[in-house]
C-alpha cells in the first residue's frame, strides 16, 4: 500500500509524521572560483538547487547554470556596497537548523526556511591584498570578509547536517560521494568542518597580524604573536633518519629572499639538512653586493669569495677549503652562467642555489642526476628576508629581529696607531660580513675578497683562531682577521701577529680591550672596532 506524501512548499514532505527531504540545496558564495562551474553543474545533475549571491551568482549564470539569488530568499537586496548579503535569519536559519530536532523542524516550516545540505564558501583575498607592495589600509579593511566567515563557522558548527566546503580541491570528493552513496559521509563532514575552522582561524590571525604591525609599530613585538604555517611537503626524515620531519611555509610573510619560495628545477627531493644549509648559504651570498659565491657545510661557510665574475668567485671560494666543500651547498648571488656551471659540475655538490641560470648552465648542471638545483628569482638579489627570527625552546619561542644590518664606514673606530690601508679596509669589511654567517665563536681570515681560513663554533675563541689557521694550511700571512665578538684576552692577537695577520676587525667592548690594542700596536697590526657583535648560536 502506498503511503501518501504531503509536500510542504517544495522543501519537506511528511511520511506518517516523519520528515523526508524532497529537494536538496547548496548555498554557494565564493571568492575563489576555481573549479566552481563544474562543481555547480554536477550538483545540479544530482538534484541540487543552488542558492547564490552577488558575483558568484553572476559567474554561474554566465556559465549557463540556473541559480536562485540570496536576495530572493531574504527578501532584501544586497546593501552597503555588498557588505550585507547573507547576514539574515533566512540564510543562517537554513545553515544552523538541526534537522534531528523536532522543534527546529517546526520552525523551518513556520518561517519557510530553506535548509542547506552543502555550503561552499571561501573568503575575500585579505592575504593576497596585504601581500602587495602598494596596497592601502582602506583596501585591507574592505577585504576583511564578514558574511563569509559567519557562514563558514555556522556550517562547521552544524556539520552533522551541513557539509561545508572552503577548499575547491574538495569539490571532486563530495561529488564522488554523492554520486556513489547519495549522501556525504559523517567522517567527510567532520573533516570538512575541521578544515573550515582552520580556514577562519588562519584568516583572523592574518588580520590580527596586519593590524598589530600597523597599530603596535613595525619595530615592536606584539603582545601576542600568531604564526601561521602551511605545509609545503613531508620530508624523508629530519636531521637524522630516526626523526620525522616536514617543511612548512609561514603564511603572511612578505618580501623577497625567502627560502620557502625557492623553486626546485632538478634533482632529488630536498632533505631537512639541505634546507637548513640552503638558508645559511643563500643568506651569506646575498649579503654581498659584488658577484659572490658561498660554499656551506653544516650551516658554516667553508669558502666565500667575491670577484668581477662568478666563475672567478667560485674558484676562489673552493680554494679556501676544497676538502670541506665536498658534498656541500653552493650559493651565488648572481645568475649562474655556463663557465660557472662547468666548474661546479666537477665537484660533488648536494645543492646549488642562485637567482637564476642560463639555459646552457642549466643543461650542464642537469647532467648530474642527483644535484638539487634551486632558483630564487632575480628579484631576490641583495634583498634579505626581514621577517622575525624564531628559535624554538621547550614550551615556547625566542623571537628577534634578523641580523641583517650592513656595516657603514662611519661606524668603525680605528683603535691602533696604524690605520688600515684601503685594501685592508675592503678585506676587513668582507671578512666581517662572512663572520656574521659563521657559528660562534668565529674567526675568519681573508685576503683579496676571499676567505683564506674559517674557524667556527668553538667554545674558545683561540681554538677557532687556531682551527682557521689549520684550514688555511698555515698560509695566513698578509691576511686580515675578523672576530664576531670581542677578545676577552689578547691571546688571539698574539697568535695573529705570529701568523702574519696585518689587520683585525672586532666589536670591542671587553674590559681587556686595551691589552689587545697594545699587542696589536707592538706587532704593527691595524685594529678597528665596530661596536657591534655577530653572535650566531
Provide the CB-side half-sphere exposure for 415 (13 A, CA).
22
Of the residues 63, 298, 342, 383, only one is catalytic, namely 298
Is there a shared CATH topology between the 259-380 domain and the 409-529 domain? yes
% helix, strand, coil for the chain, step of 5: 40, 20, 40
Q: What's the CATH number of domain 409-529, 3.40.50.300, 3.40.190.10, 3.40.140.20, 3.30.300.30?
A: 3.40.140.20
Residue 298 designated active-site: yes
Nearest to 372 by CA among 406, 322, 330: 330
pLDDT for the residue numbered 471: 95
Domain coordinates in residue numbering, the chain? 6-214, 259-380, 409-529
Q: Which residue, chain included where needed, has cell 692577537?
A: 493
3-state secondary structure of 275: helix
C-alpha cell at 198: 582552520
The predicted-structure confidence for 176-218, as pLDDT tens digits, reads as follows 999 999 999 999 999 999 999 999 998 988 888 888 777 765 5
Residue with cell 558564495: 29
d(CA 208, CA 164): 24
- 388 pLDDT band, cuts 50/70/90, is confident
Identified catalytic residue from 23, 109, 157, 198: 157
Instruction: Provide CB contacts within 8 A for 165, sequence distance 6+.
Output: 118, 119, 120, 121, 171, 174, 192
Q: Which residues, other chains included, contact 8 with Cβ-Cβ below 8 Å and sequence gap of 6+?
A: 14, 109
Which one of 3.40.50.720, 3.40.50.2300, 1.10.10.370, 3.40.140.20 gives the CATH number of domain 259-380? Answer: 3.40.140.20
d(CA 413, CA 420): 11
Range from 185-189, 237-241, 323-327, 402-406 carrying the lowest mean pLDDT: 402-406
The gap between the terminal CA atoms of the chain, to the nearest Å, is 82
Q: How far apart are CA 82 and CA 289, in angstroms?
A: 49
* Over residues 147-153, mean pLDDT: 91
- What pLDDT score does 19 carry? 41
Write out the three cell numbers for 399: 623571537
**pLDDT on residue 10:** 39
C-alpha cell at 67: 541559480
pLDDT, mean over the chain: 90
Going by pLDDT thresholds of 50, 70 and 90, the confidence category of residue 3 is very low
pTM (2 decimals)? 0.80
Residue 311 has pLDDT above 70, yes or no: yes
379: exposed, middle or buried (Cβ count in 10 Å: 0-12, 13-18, 19+): exposed
Which residues partner with 264 through β-bridges?
A: 374
CA–CA separation, 453 and 446 (whole Å): 7
Query: In this predicted model, what pLDDT tens digit does every residue of 209-251 receive, in sequence order?
Result: 888 777 765 556 777 777 888 899 999 999 999 999 999 998 8
Q: How far apart are CA 350 and CA 211, in angstroms?
A: 41
pLDDT value for 264: 96
* Annotation says 537 is catalytic: no
Residue-wise pLDDT for 105-126, tens only, equals 888 888 888 899 999 999 988 8
148-152, 234-238, 490-494, 528-532: least confident range:
148-152
Which pLDDT score, from 0 to 100, does residue 435 have? 97
Phi-psi region of 85 (alpha: psi -120 to 50; beta: other; left: phi over 0): alpha
pLDDT tens, residue by residue, 451-471: 999 999 999 999 999 999 999
Architecture of domain 6-214: 3-Layer(aba) Sandwich (3.40)
Instruction: Give the residue, 148 or 453, on which the prediction is more confident.
Output: 453
Amino acid at each position: 500500500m502506498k503511503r501518501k506524501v504531503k509536500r510542504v512548499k517544495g522543501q519537506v514532505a511528511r511520511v506518517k509524521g516523519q520528515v523526508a527531504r524532497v529537494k536538496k540545496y547548496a548555498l554557494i558564495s565564493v571568492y575563489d572560483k576555481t573549479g566552481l562551474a563544474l562543481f555547480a553543474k554536477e550538483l545540479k545533475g544530482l538534484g541540487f538547487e543552488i542558492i547564490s549571491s552577488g558575483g558568484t551568482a553572476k559567474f554561474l549564470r554566465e556559465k549557463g547554470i540556473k541559480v536562485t539569488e540570496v536576495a530572493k530568499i531574504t527578501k532584501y537586496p544586497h546593501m552597503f556596497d555588498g557588505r550585507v548579503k547573507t547576514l539574515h535569519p533566512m540564510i543562517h536559519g537554513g545553515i544552523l537548523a538541526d534537522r534531528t530536532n523536532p522543534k527546529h523542524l517546526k520552525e523551518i516550516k513556520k518561517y519557510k526556511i530553506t535548509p542547506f545540505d552543502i555550503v561552499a564558501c571561501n573568503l575575500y583575498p585579505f592575504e593576497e591584498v596585504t601581500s602587495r607592495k602598494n596596497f592601502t589600509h582602506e583596501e585591507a579593511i574592505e577585504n576583511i570578509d564578514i558574511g563569509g566567515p559567519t557562514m563558514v563557522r555556522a556550517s562547521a558548527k552544524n556539520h552533522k547536517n551541513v557539509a561545508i566546503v572552503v577548499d575547491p580541491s574538495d569539490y571532486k570528493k563530495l561529488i564522488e560521494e554523492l554520486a556513489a552513496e547519495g549522501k556525504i559521509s559523517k567522517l567527510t563532514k567532520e573533516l570538512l568542518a575541521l578544515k573550515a575552522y582552520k580556514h577562519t582561524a588562519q584568516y583572523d590571525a592574518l588580520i590580527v597580524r596586519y593590524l598589530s604591525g600597523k597599530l603596535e609599530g613595525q619595530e615592536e613585538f606584539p603582545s601576542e604573536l600568531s604564526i601561521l604555517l602551511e605545509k609545503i611537503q613531508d620530508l624523508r626524515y629530519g636531521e637524522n633518519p630516526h626523526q620525522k620531519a616536514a617543511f612548512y611555509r609561514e603564511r603572511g610573510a612578505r618580501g623577497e629572499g625567502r627560502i620557502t619560495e625557492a623553486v626546485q628545477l632538478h634533482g632529488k627531493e630536498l632533505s631537512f639538512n639541505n634546507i637548513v644549509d640552503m638558508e645559511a648559504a643563500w643568506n651569506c651570498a646575498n649579503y654581498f653586493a659584488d658577484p659572490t659565491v658561498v660554499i656551506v657545510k653544516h650551516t658554516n661557510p667553508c669558502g666565500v669569495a667575491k670577484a668581477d665574475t662568478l666563475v672567478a668567485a667560485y674558484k676562489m671560494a673552493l680554494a679556501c677549503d676544497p676538502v670541506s666543500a665536498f658534498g656541500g651547498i653552493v650559493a651565488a648571488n648572481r645568475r649562474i652562467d655556463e663557465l660557472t656551471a662547468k666548474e661546479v659540475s666537477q665537484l660533488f655538490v648536494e645543492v646549488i642555489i642562485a637567482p637564476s641560470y642560463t639555459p646552457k648552465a642549466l643543461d650542464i648542471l642537469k647532467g648530474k642526476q642527483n644535484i638539487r638545483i634551486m632558483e630564487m628569482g632575480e628579484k631576490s638579489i641583495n634583498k634579505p628576508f626581514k621577517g622575525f627570527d624564531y628559535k624554538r625552546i621547550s614550551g615556547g619561542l625566542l623571537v628577534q629581529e634578523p641580523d641583517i644590518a650592513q656595516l657603514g664606514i662611519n661606524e668603525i673606530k680605528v683603535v691602533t696607531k696604524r690605520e688600515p690601508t684601503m685594501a685592508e679596509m675592503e678585506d676587513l669589511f668582507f671578512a666581517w660580513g662572512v663572520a656574521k654567517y659563521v657559528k660562534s665563536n668565529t674567526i675568519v681570515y681573508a685576503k683579496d675578497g676571499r676567505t683564506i681560513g674559517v674557524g667556527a663554533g668553538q667554545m674558545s675563541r683561540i681554538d677557532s683562531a687556531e682551527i682557521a689557521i689549520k684550514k688555511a694550511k698555515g698560509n695566513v700571512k698578509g691576511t686580515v682577521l675578523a672576530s664576531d665578538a670581542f677578545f676577552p684576552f689578547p691571546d688571539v692577537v698574539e697568535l695573529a701577529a705570529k701568523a702574519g695577520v696585518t689587520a683585525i676587525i672586532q666589536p670591542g667592548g671587553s674590559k681587556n680591550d686595551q691589552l689587545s690594542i697594545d699587542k696589536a700596536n707592538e706587532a704593527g697590526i691595524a685594529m678597528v672596532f665596530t661596536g657591534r657583535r655577530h653572535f650566531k648560536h
